[in-house]
Amino acid sequence: MIKSDELKSFLDLKFDQYNTLDFIPEDPISIPHRFSIKQDIEIAGFLAATLAWGQRPVIIRNSLNLLERMDHSPFDFILNAKEQEINTFKDFKHRTFNGEDCIHFLQSLQRVYKSEDSLDDYFSKLRLKLKQNHNDIANVLSIFKKSFLGEDYTGRTSKHIADPLKGSTAKRLNMFFRWMVRKDSKGIDFGIWYSIKPSELYCPLDVHTARISRELGLLTRKQNDWKSVDELTKSLRRLDPEDPVKYDIALFGLGVNEDF
């Protein structure tokens, strides 16, 4: 196992290597990078993150399909689309995310933006609903599912929003939060949310980051679940308490690009 100081130096080196604008074009984060207005970035990012499983070229292609249907103006579309316009998405499909799911997401986003200025404000108010000792991001993500889909909703679209308190890694939501919250001079992540601190984020866990994390001794748990997310994030916080999830970029880069 690599010593902690050597591990930090290694991951800092890999973070600098992969934290470049060259990373953007072939990654789903390229979708929100098409926009400059906060709400456009949020909506495009949230939808792209929702579709972010499978091959990245397919994720990007289907995310662009969604944007094209919105005339590349997602915020304007969400605010102003009539029922019949939203219903034209009934033929959309990405893996198991189908037209019914897409319509439900668009309707939910419309409800959010008709009551809040941004998703940032929406999540901030969800935190305020929680007791001070229970507004950890895991709890926020858990109540988000019911709040976003509908308190009494139990239909098929439920499977497309993870609940970490039920064991899910919530990889796509954690990735979306990373995009919105953390920021540095290189410009991959946006840093347009201020209600959540980078130090509070959890590391997105997929097959690449999990494998590399175990090989580096950052993660000992064999199962990929929320306990693994928590363990990995605690390991990363020891390396950088203020911005632990920056190492997601290093771990993913190692997993995808190197024979490690």
Q: Tokens in use for 238?
A: 């020891």
Q: Domain coordinates of the chain in residue numbers?
A: 4-257
The pLDDT, as a whole number, for residue 135 is 76
8 A C-beta contact, residue 186 and residue 21: yes
The pLDDT, as a whole number, for residue 66 is 98
CA distance 219 to 207: 13
Other C-beta atoms lying within 10 Å of the C-beta of residue 224: 18
Contacts of 181 (CB under 8 A, 6+ apart): 189, 191, 193, 196, 197, 198, 201
CA distance 210 to 223: 9
Integer angstrom CA distances of residue 84 from 77, 89, 90, 152, 193: 12, 9, 10, 24, 32
Specify burial of residue 12 (Cβ count, 10 A radius: 0-12, 13-18, 19+): middle
8 A C-beta contact, residue 11 and residue 247: yes
**Coil, helix or strand for 109?**
helix
CA distance 253 to 17: 9
Sites in the chain below the pLDDT cut of 50 = none
